Structure 1
Amino acid sequence: MADVQRRPLLRHLRGAPTTYVRHLRRGKPVHEGVGVSFWFRPLTAVISEVPVDDRELPLLFHARTADYQDVSVQATVTYRIEEPALAARRLDFAINPDTGAWRAAPLDQVATMLTESAQQHALTLAAGMTLREAIIGGPVELRDAVTAGLAGDARLTDTGITIVGVRVVAVRPEADVERALQTPAREEVQQEADRATYERRALAVERERAIAENEMQNQIELAQREEQLVARRGHNERRRAEEDAAAAWVAARAASEREKLAAVTQAENRRELGAAEAEANAAYLAVYRDMDPAILLALAAGTLAERLPEIGQLNLAPDVLTGALARLTAPRDAT
C-alpha cells in the first residue's frame, strides 16, 4: 500500500519498489511507474496502485474421478502482473487519495479468475482418471494441465497476468477411501514386519544353536583332552612305577652283591683267622708238648688263679700240700 501524507489541499504519495502507480488527471496520465513519488491534488487525481511482485495463491478444491470417487486437490499458483497498466485498465486498482487503500478488492478478483480457471482444467483432467491414477500420477499431470491451461487463458492474458508456476501439493481421496486404500499397503508392511520378526527370531535361534553346538564341541574337546591327560598321567605313573621297580631291583641286586661280597670276604677272613689261630695253637701246643707236666700244672694253676675271683685267705691242708710237693719232686718217669 502506498504511503500518503496529507497537507492542506495537497497530498504526497510515495510508492513502493514492488508496486506500479498510475496518476491520472482529467483522464490523462501524469505520473506512472514503479516506486514513483509525487504531489497531487485529491480533488482532481485518480490514482491506481498495481502490485508487480510474485504472489502465491493457495488452492483447495474437490474433483470427481472417472470411477465416481471424490478427491481433494491442494495446489499453489504463483503469478505476477506483468503488464500493470493493462491490469489497471481491466480491474479496479484505484486507491483512496487520503488513505492509500484500495477502494475495491482487485486481488480477490484475480484470485477468483485463477481459482476458477485452475479448477476447470483440474476437474476436466480428473474426470478422465481413475482414483488410483489420480493418486499415483495425478499431482504431476494436474500440475502440467493447470499450468498449460492458465498460460493459455485469454482472460489472464488480457488482464496482463503471467503464471510463474503451479505446484500440486497433494491429491487425496476421502478419509474412509484413503484408509481402505492404505489397508493393503499396511498389510504388506505388517507382513514385511512379521517376516523380519520371524527372520530375526530364526536368526536368533540359529545363533543360539550355533552357540550351543560350539559349547558342546568345546566340552567334547575338553573331555578328549582330559581323557588324554588321564591316559598320559596313567602312562607316566606306569613308567614311574616301572622305573621305581627297576631302580629297586638294581638296588636289591646291588645290596645282594654287596652282602654276597661281604659274606665271601667274611668267610675268607674267618678262614684266614682260623688258619692263623690254628697255626698259633699249633705253635702254642708245640711249645708245651715237650714241657714237664709239673710245670704245666703250675702254669695252669697260675692261669686259673688269674681268672678266679679274689680270695682273701687260703687254707691248705697238709695232705694236699704234701701230695702236691710230692708230685713236683717226683721223677718224670714216675708220672
Structure 2
Amino acid sequence: MIGIRFFKADASTYVMKTRAGRVNKAGKGLSFFYNSRTVSIAAIPMNAQEAPFVFNMQTADFQEVRVQGQLSFRVVDAPKTAEILNFTLDRTGTGYVSDDPMKLNERVIRVAQGIIQSRVQARALREVLKDSQAMLQALEVGLDEHKTLDAMGIEVLEVSLTAIKPNPETARALEAEARESILKEADDAIYQRRISSVEQERSIKEAELKTDYSVQQKEQEIAEQRIENGRKLMRGEIETRREEQRAKIESQKVTLTADIEAESERQMLIELRVQNRKQESDADAYGLKAQLEAINTLPAETLKTLVMGQLDSEQLIALAMENLSGNISSIGELNLSPDLLGQVFKKGMRQQ
C-alpha cells in the first residue's frame, strides 16, 4: 500500500509511535510497520553524548578569561524530553522534522555556562585561575540540581574542565609577574640560604668559641690544680724539711747534750788530772826540797864527789878541761893522748 513503511530502532533509541494524538507504542528498539500519512514517530537517543564547550567570560575585575571543558549526558526520561523537544521523524524516517534534537547539546551547555558565569563574575582573575577544582565541583552540583535538565529528563554523567586561561596579553603580564615573583622567591631563597649559611657559620663559630672557652677553662683548672698540687708538694717538702730540721735540731741537741756531758766529764777529768798533777808536783817539790835541804847540809867536797861519781868519761874529761883552764897559769905542760881524743870525737859523731 502507498505510505506503508517499516521502522526499526536500535537498542539505545527510545521510540514513541503516535496516531491521532495518542501514543500507540513506546519503548526501546521497537520495529513495526506504519502508515506514514497517519502515524508520527518520535525517536529519542538514550545513549551518552559528549558536549565540549568553550566560554569567553569576564571576571569581577573586568578581565577576559576562557573556560574550556567537556561534559557527557544522556536522556533518562524520554517522554519528558519528547514533551519539551520535538524528536519527530519525517515521513521517510531518516531525519527529524525539527532542529530541536541538534540543539539538545546547546541547551545542556547553556545550563553549564550559566553556572560557570555566575561563579566567574563573582571573582577576580587570579581567583578564577586558581579556582578550577572548586569551579568543577560547583558545576557538577549545579548540573545535578538544575530544574531545566530534570524537566527535560536529562542526566549529566561527567563534567571536566580542561583549561581556564586569560587573554594572551593578560597571560603574558601574569607570566611576567609570576616570573618576577619566582625570581624574587629565588633571590629570597638565595638570601635565605646566605642568611642560613651565615647563621650556621655563626653557630659554628659560637660552638668553636664555646669549645675554646671550655678548653681554656679545663686548661685553667688543670693549671690551678697543678699549682695547688705544687703548693701541696712545697708544703710537704717544707714540712719534711721542718721535720728534718727538727730531727736535726733534736739530734744536735742530743749531740750537744752528749758533748756537754762529755765536756763536763772531760773537764772533771782534767780538773782531776790537774789536781793529781798538782799533788804529784807538790810531792816532787816536797821531795826535791827535802833533797836540797839534805844536800845543803853536806860538805862541798862530798857533793862534788857524789856528782862526779854519776858522770860518764866524756863529762869527766870536760870537767877536767874546765878545771885546767881555770888553773892554766900554773900548768907548764899538758899531754893529751890520741886515744882519749878519739873516744871523745867518736861519741860526738854518734850523737850527731
The two structures have a TM-score, normalised by structure 2, of 0.48
Cα distance change of structure 1 residues 268 and 93 upon mapping to structure 2, 3 Å threshold = farther
C-alpha distance in 2 between matches for 1:249 and 1:121: 114
- Match of 1:61, SS state, is strand
Gaps of 5+ in 2: 1-5, 284-352
- Match of 1:90, SS state, is coil
1:96-120 C-alpha deviation (Å, 9 max, x unpaired): 9xxxxx94599x9745443378469
Q: 2:86 aligns with which of 66, 75, 90?
A: 90
Cα distance change of structure 1 residues 209 and 133 upon mapping to structure 2, 3 Å threshold = closer
1:81 is aligned to 2:72: no
Counterpart in 1 of 2:242?
249
- Contact kept, 8 Å, 1:21 with 1:48, in 2: the verdict is yes
1:216 is aligned to 2:177: no
Cα distance change of structure 1 residues 216 and 274 upon mapping to structure 2, 3 Å threshold = same
- Contact kept, 8 Å, 2:9 with 2:15, in 1: the verdict is no
Counterpart in 2 of 1:4?
none
1:174-222 C-alpha deviation (Å, 9 max, x unpaired): 4564233232133224323432442343133123213312321331242
Counterpart in 2 of 1:313?
none
Cα distance change of structure 1 residues 221 and 20 upon mapping to structure 2, 3 Å threshold = same
Give the counterpart letter for 2:44 in structure 1. Answer: V
Kindly state the Cα deviation for residue 234 of structure 1 after the two structures are TM-superposed.
Answer: 2.0
- Match of 1:91, SS state, is coil
1:41-97 C-alpha deviation (Å, 9 max, x unpaired): 6999997653346x3533233637599987543233454435535639822569x9x
C-alpha distance in 2 between matches for 1:121 and 1:178: 25
C-alpha distance in 2 between matches for 1:259 and 1:246: 19
Q: Over the residues paired in the alignment, what is the CA RMSD in angstroms? A: 5.7
C-alpha distance in 2 between matches for 1:64 and 1:166: 22
Farther-moved stretch of structure 1 (269-278 vs 255-264): 269-278
Cα distance change of structure 1 residues 105 and 219 upon mapping to structure 2, 3 Å threshold = farther
1:198 is aligned to 2:197: no
Give the counterpart letter for 1:209 in structure 2. Answer: R
Cα distance change of structure 1 residues 176 and 120 upon mapping to structure 2, 3 Å threshold = farther
Give the counterpart letter for 1:90 in structure 2. Answer: N
Counterpart in 1 of 2:229?
236
Counterpart in 1 of 2:218?
225
Cα distance change of structure 1 residues 229 and 48 upon mapping to structure 2, 3 Å threshold = same
Cα distance change of structure 1 residues 242 and 29 upon mapping to structure 2, 3 Å threshold = closer
Cα distance change of structure 1 residues 15 and 60 upon mapping to structure 2, 3 Å threshold = closer
Higher normalized helix content (fraction of residues): 2
- Contact kept, 8 Å, 1:78 with 1:165, in 2: the verdict is yes
C-alpha distance in 2 between matches for 1:202 and 1:189: 19
Give the counterpart letter for 1:76 in structure 2. Answer: Q
C-alpha distance in 2 between matches for 1:275 and 1:70: 145
C-alpha distance in 1 between matches for 2:246 and 2:86: 143
Give the counterpart letter for 1:63 in structure 2. Answer: N
**What does 1:169-318 correspond to in 2, within 5 Å?**
169=161, 170-175=163-168, 177-265=170-258, 268=261
C-alpha distance in 2 between matches for 1:207 and 1:230: 33
Counterpart in 2 of 1:115?
106
C-alpha distance in 2 between matches for 1:203 and 1:50: 70
1:242-283 C-alpha deviation (Å, 9 max, x unpaired): 32123123213312322441353366468658978979xx8x
Percentage of matched positions with identical amino acids: 21
1:268-312 C-alpha deviation (Å, 9 max, x unpaired): 468658978979xx8xxx9xx9xxxxxxxxxxxxxxxxxxxxxxx
Cα distance change of structure 1 residues 238 and 260 upon mapping to structure 2, 3 Å threshold = same
Q: Computing the radius of gyration over CA atoms, which structure comes out larger, 1 or 2?
A: 2
C-alpha distance in 2 between matches for 1:121 and 1:259: 128
State the number of aligned residues. Answer: 252
Gaps of 5+ in 1: 1-10, 97-101, 290-335
Kindly state the Cα deviation for residue 230 of structure 1 after the two structures are TM-superposed.
Answer: 1.4
